[in-house]
Amino acid sequence: MPARPASQTSVPKPVDEKITINLGCVDLGQIDLLVQEGFYANRTDLIRTAIRNQLATHGDVVRQVVSRRTLVLGLHRYTAEHLRAVQAAGETLQIRVLGLASIDADVTPELALATIESLTVLGALQASPAVKAALAERIR
């Protein structure tokens, strides 16, 4: 049995996004002290924990906004097969994702333009550079 292309068999793996923050010397010193005392494995561990705690604190607000804006929460994958079905039905998509929106590598810019009316992603978008360029005016 021939192997299927990776784009049809695997779910895209979310990639961590890098951010840069500026901290004062006192804050940084306190973080380093907590790391030295074994409360956290490293600076990144403390920062991720702090961010997760804040997100948990505001979880109800996030859920309400997701519902109000009709966002899809999590990882959402758009395959060429799915987009061809949308095209065959004469429909277009208004994609709204909070998390990761992934457009498979075999989706052509022409297919994306024919089927994606608008694209809003709060988080990350994985797509070929050609598809991103084609959809640039539709990305909000």
Residues 49 and 67 grouped into a single domain: no
What is the extent of the structural domain holding 46? Answer: 22-57
Count the domains in the chain: 2
Both structure tokens of 107: 């989706």
Interaxial angle between packed helices 59-68 and 43-57, expressed in degrees from 0 to 180 and rounded to the nearest 10? 60
Residues 34 and 79 both lie in one domain: no
Is 81 within 8 Å of 57 (Cβ atoms)? no
Residue ranges in 3-94 assigned as alpha helix (H) = 6-9, 25-36, 43-57, 59-68, 80-88
What is residue 105's predicted lDDT score, i.e. its pLDDT?
A: 96
Same domain, 99 and 119: yes
What pTM does this model have?
0.65
Are 80 and 103 contained in the same domain? yes
pLDDT digits (tens, 9 = 90+) for 8-39: 446 667 778 888 999 999 999 999 999 999 99
- Give the end of a domain, one of 37, 57, 77: 57
Report residue 21 as tokens.
């923050």
Q: Are residues 70 and 47 in the same domain?
A: no
Q: Could you say which DSSP state residue 52 is in?
A: H
Query: Is residue 28 one of the residues assigned to a domain?
Result: yes
Please state, rounded to an integer, the average pLDDT across all residues of the chain: 89
CA atoms within a 13 Å half-sphere pointing along the CA-CB vector of 138: 19
Final residue belonging to a domain, choices 12, 32, 57: 57
Could you give the percent of the chain with pLDDT greater than 90?
Answer: 76
CA atoms within 13 A on the CB side of 114: 15
